[in-house]
Amino acid sequence: MDSRRSLLVLALLFISFLVYQQWQMDKNPPPVAQTTTQAGGNQASDVPNSASATTEIAADSQTKGQIITLESDLLRLQIDTLGGDVIQSELLKYDAELHSNTPFELLKDSKDIVYIAQSGLIGKNGIDTKAGRAQYQVEGSSFKLADGQNKLSVPFTFVKDGVTYRKIFVLKRGSYDVGVLFEIDNQSGAAIEVEPYGQLKHTLVDSTGNVAMPTYTGGAYSSSETNYKKYSFSDMKDNNLSIDTKAGWVAVLQHYFVSAWIPNQDAQNQLYTLTDSQNNTASIGYRGPITTIAAGAKETLSSSLWTGPKLQSQMAQVANHLDLTVDYGWAWFIAKPLFLLLTFIQKLVHNWGLAIICVTLIVKAILYPLTKAQYTSMAKMRMLQPKMQEMRERFGDDRQRMSQEMMKLYKEEKVNPLGGCLPLLLQMPIFIALYWTFMEAVELRHAPFFGWIQDLSAQDPYYILPILMGGSMFLLQKMSPTPVADPMQQKVMNFMPLIFMFFFLWFPAGLVLYWLVSNLITIVQQQLIYRGLEKKGLHTRK
């Protein structure tokens, strides 16, 4: 396979990948929800679905509560005493926009979008119902993790019918994992029953991005039978999720960031979704088992809330399979080691752009034996062109005889006509894996290279790298002057670098850098290989 045909195959694979990518995002039919019923009529419909800091709670004349601020070295949370909902989470180490010096806001409750983390106690003696939410009392309005302090615990207290409920938020230094505990002291004189729940409520929105960089915004969950599965807002509108599982978690994903409720992993939980068409919101959550607390007894129910960036190693320690929210797609088995290699090199060179260049060099070095075999095969094929032309003239339209004689010739000359395919087939999965690494790895967000490239995860603002990449493809094409018999195919091949350059205008700058460096290395390798072949008499320039 000559390099021009290789380029055509690569273009077809590349365009097919983009089309498949968009189809997966927009046209893939939603899965049928797995539906189960817990014993005792434990249905998610009992969970309050109207509570929000900006939504009036009906029936009990309660008003919006006080807003309490909790801050660690990484997080700043805003919590409403009405229900104890987390209505805002600011990520102090991540800018909202490049060099904005404004913390990125993940959870939020505004006129434009509702994205909050709710939790509480429901059931027979629950304090959160559709009629109203618990109104907690807090001794203070602002709490901050002090220097030298590794943990900040803030109790929210509610007393009802002789029972004291304490909802305790625990922030830990260096962690986006927020502990949410319910301490229940039953001094009512009779046994009570409660069920914990936690849910993420989000305005119904469409996934964003473009054909080159589509991004998913929607739900996901993990259960005992399914390690990780997306469950989009459109899925939620079509079918309410209801799964009984031990362990597991629920989450809402967006580009580079995730919020997730992780219930008690030793308990039997129900994962569910709810939709509120009136308020244009959907909720994905969990409901824990019924807990009976005897008179005079105390009980603690635990859960945790992750609200932060998709940090794979930290999320893996919080819950099984939570790190899979960094979704590399089918190329995960290449993307994961590739990301580890990138991270290792970045720690040495302290620049993600240089790390990408180093990884490109390593990949090309690994593929070099196959690349050499590719160009050797191409050179031999060129040597056979006169004989093949003679056969075409001799056999004319007898395609079967022509094919038989060509295969015989290949066998006699020990030429593999598909010798150039393997490097190409290996290169495309590596490219796709690196593509998903840039799409999913938050470590590359706002990562600078040099000069005008201040964010390798975003497109080149001046399109310099895509233009250089297109130029390198054009040069690579011109250095492989194998004649193409079909004039139409010749025209298509001439436009191929321009087509690639057009698509790459919207790709992350880091990915374009990889492709550009890969092309430059290929040009050097091709020259070295051809010169070696010329010395051996296997290749003659035309």
**Per-residue pLDDT at 276 exceeds 70:** yes
pLDDT above 60 for 30: no
Residue 243 in 3-state DSSP? strand
Domain with CATH 2.70.98.90 in the chain: 62-327
β-pair partners for 186: 163
Lowest mean pLDDT among 14-23, 82-91, 240-249, 399-408: 14-23
Which residue's structure tokens are 């054909």? 211
Residue 322 has pLDDT above 90, yes or no: yes
Does residue 446 have a pLDDT over 50?
Answer: yes
User: String of b and e for 407-418 (b: at least 16 CB within 10 Å)?
Assistant: eeebeeeebbee
Q: Which residues contact 420 (CB under 8 A, 6 or more apart)?
A: 1, 2, 3, 5, 6, 374, 375, 377, 378
CA dist., res. 472 & res. 59, Å (int): 68
Of 113-127, 386-400, 445-459, least confident by mean pLDDT is 386-400
Of residues 332 and 38, more confidently modeled: 332
Burial class (CB in 10 A: 0-12, 13-18, 19+), 471: middle
Distance CA 133, CA 50 (A): 10
State the DSSP string of 289-308: --EEE-TT-EEEEEEEEEEE
Between β-strands 67-71 and 142-144, what pairing exists: parallel, antiparallel or unpaired?
parallel
Provide the pLDDT for residue 56.
31
CA distance 388 to 383: 10
Instruction: Give ∠ CA 529-535-538 in degrees, rounded to 5.
Output: 75
Longest CA–CA separation in the chain, Å: 104
Q: How many helices (H) and strands (E) does the chain have?
A: 11, 22
- For residue 149, is pLDDT > 70? yes
How high does pLDDT run on average in the chain?
Answer: 84
Whether pLDDT at 267 is above 50:
yes
Q: What is the pLDDT of residue 417?
A: 64
Inter-CA distances, 432 with 108, 333, 358, 437, 538, Å:
33, 11, 18, 9, 35
Position with higher pLDDT, 474 vs 136: 136
Distance CA 519, CA 472 (A): 6
Q: Please give the pLDDT value at position 225.
A: 93
Architecture of domain 62-327: Distorted Sandwich (2.70)
Whether the predicted pLDDT of 374 surpasses 80:
no
